[in-house]
Structures are given as structure tokens and as C-alpha cells.
Amino acid sequence: MELVSIERIEEARKLLEGITRVTPMEHARDLRRLHGGPVYLKCENLQRTGSFKIRGAYTRIHGLTQEERARGVVAASAGNHAQGVALASSLLGISSTVFMPLRAPLPKLAATRGYGADVHLHGAVLEETLAEAIAFSERTGAVFIHPFDHVDVIAGQGTVGLEILEQVPGVKTVLVATGGGGLVGGVAAAVKGLRPDIRVVGVQAEDAAAYPPSLAAGSPVRLSELHTMADGIAVGEPGPVSYAHVSSLVDDVVTVTEESLSRAVLLCLERRKLVVEPAGAATVAALMQHPGAFEPPVVAILSGGNVDPVLLQQIIQHGMTAGGRYLKLHLRVPDRPGSLVSVLTCVKELGANVLDVEHSRISGSLALGEVDVALALETRGPEHCKEVEAALADAGFTIVP
């Protein structure tokens, strides 16, 4: 299979002038110490539609013939690709139909409709949604726009790589969130086409990583199950076109845990003041989980920022827990006036923030004259948690495992 050339990516960049933004590059000084050199974040979460997807969608749809344009286009997506296809079609004056899962987040659903697409909800999981979109294409003649497995899509996504080379000329390693492989394949084609010495590394969620077994087998392998909060990179099987690019051009694919993903979202929010979805923060998760693994200067692509506010709240709590900034304690204290005050005073003096307190005398395991106290605390980190536990134990309160 012929891979996308640097010339094709440069053509895509000219096509996208005035359509997409040259997204900013942020210097992440707080991540420098983990890798011994500069780390930069390529903010595709600030791209039009909130992700890089508009690049590939517009390039693909622009390349349709007049007869194909007249038939309209159809896509299936949980959010980012849907918005990219909807906006690209609107800009080109083409009708678009988008199928989304039944439980698609309301903000993504509203945004896709706002960009002009006719949206249909179908399927409990994305595979069912995809099957319905393909069936619609076969029934109506609408052109199916694949989210990653097409050379035009890969060429459009590759324009991110051209911008990286211009913004950080000395870059040694580029980290790319990887689902189906369209973005990492395009970025690798651009980077390797001009600077073959630069290392390109894909990043996948540990429990939704189809590329490691596929690369080991020498062909796309289908996963039986996917379990990750990073729905933007939850792809069960690489396509033949994207697989050819990844297997030929990408130097390595690493995986990250759910804990690392949630901590990365929280870091972007707190330290960078950037709203980034779990899939978009996968590269930051890799930087945090694999210290010293990537030669600096490193550029990590933040591929998207479309996250449901309800999910974001859950991710923040999960990230704080994973980072040791939440502490839940179960104490046994004497049942006498002032005991609870003593517990809370001890916590206050240590600088922990009380989030919740539950006081109960109803338990078969309690001795006469004892009460249960359950505490939920916000702390400064793992060492602070240990300090709080030790101080409560020294004060005579029994910590129940």
C-alpha cells in the first residue's frame, strides 16, 4: 500500500488555510523534570470543533466529486468526528447525516446539530452506531466518511505534524493519542517525511489498546472488549490503511492506565488552565506514567477538548484520588462529648480539608462506649495523607482498615 507522501500533506495544508487554526504550542515546565528537558503541548483541543478531526474531515469531503457531493455524506461518531464532518460539510455546502450512540453526551450532540448535521441516535455502543451509518450509506447512496481509515483523512491529520516542526524545530520526540491511527499515522508521515530522526510514539489506553497486539501479529487484531474513559481513542480494531502507516512509520506505541488519564486531565486543568478530554490527555498521561522514557524536547499533542461536564466532574474526583489528594478514613472514637470535635481539630491543625463526616452509633461491631466516624478529606498528596493518619493514631483514635 502506498503511504501518504509529504507532498500530499503539504497540499492538504494549503487546502485548510482559512479553514483550520494553527493551534498554539504551550511550554509545560512542570513536566520538564520528569524527562530532563523541554516538554511542549500542541493544543488541538483549541482547534475548531474542539479537536483535530476537522482537518481530516474537511480534506476528505473536499476531495469528493460533484456527483458524490450531491448524494451527501454520512458518518458515525461519539462526538469529535461527528462535529468535524458536520462543520466541514456545512462549509462546503453539502448535506450531512451523523449517527451517534444513544447515550452520546448532550453537549456533543448539540454541537453536532449546531454545525448543521442531521443527527440520528442509534446503538448502545459505537460499533452498532457505525453499522447503522454504513447501512444508511448503502440505502441512500450517501458517501460514508470514515473517521480514520482513508488516505485523505490521514493527509489532513498530518498537517498537525507540519505545524509541530515549525513551532518546535528542535523536537526529538512526538507523542500522539492513538485510537484508529489516523492522527498518529498522518503526523508520522509528515514528521518522517521531513525529519526521519524524530521519534513518533503512539499512546493508547491500557484497556482499549488494539495496536500492540496488532503490531505483534503483523496485521490488525480485533479486541473483544474495550474499557476506558477515553472514548475518543476507544477503537477495537485498526483499519488496513491506518495500520499500514502506523506499522511502517511509528516508532513505538505505549499504553497508559485509567488513573494516569484522570491525573493528566486534572493536571491540564489545574496547571495549564486547559480543558482536555481523557483521550486528548493521553499523551500527558504517558509523560506522567513513563518518566524518562522520551527524549526531549518532547511535543505531546492534546488531541481534543470535548468532554461532558458531568464526566469531567467524575474525572477530576478520580484524578484527585489517584494523585493521593483524597483520603477516606474510618475511625473508632470514644462516645463522649467533645470526641468528634477533637478529631476535627486534629484534622484542621494538619491543614486537611473536611469534605464529609458521618457519625454513627449503630454497628454490631462497636464496643460499648464507642462510635464510628467516617471522614472524607482533601489533602495535599500522598505524604500529607500519611501525616494525617499518623497524627490521628497518635492522638488515640483507632483507624479501622
Residues labelled as active-site residues:
53, 303
Grid cell 481534543 — which residue?
A: 304
Three-point CA angle 280, 49, 236, nearest 5°: 45
Residues of 279-313 as b/e, b for ≥16 C-beta within 10 angstroms? bbbbbbbbbbbbeebbebbbbbbbbbbbbbeeebe
Residue 193 in contact with residue 220, Cβ under 8 Å?
no
Residues 6+ apart with CB under 8 A from 310: 105
Closest of 310, 304, 157, 160 to residue 232, by C-alpha = 304
State which amino acid sits at residue 39. V
What's the rounded Cα separation, in Å, for the pair 76 and 127?
A: 9
| Sheet (strand 353-360) strand order | 353-360, 370-378, 326-334, 398-399
How many other CB atoms sit within 10 Å of the CB of residue 267? 22
What's the rounded Cα separation, in Å, for the pair 128 and 132?
A: 6
Q: What grid cell was written down for 354?
A: 473536611
What's the rounded Cα separation, in Å, for the pair 375 and 352?
A: 11
What's the rounded Cα separation, in Å, for the pair 233 and 131?
A: 18
How many other CB atoms sit within 10 Å of the CB of residue 93? 8
Residues pairing with 41 in the sheet: 26, 300
Whole-angstrom CA distances from 375 to 17, 262, 295 are 55, 23, 43
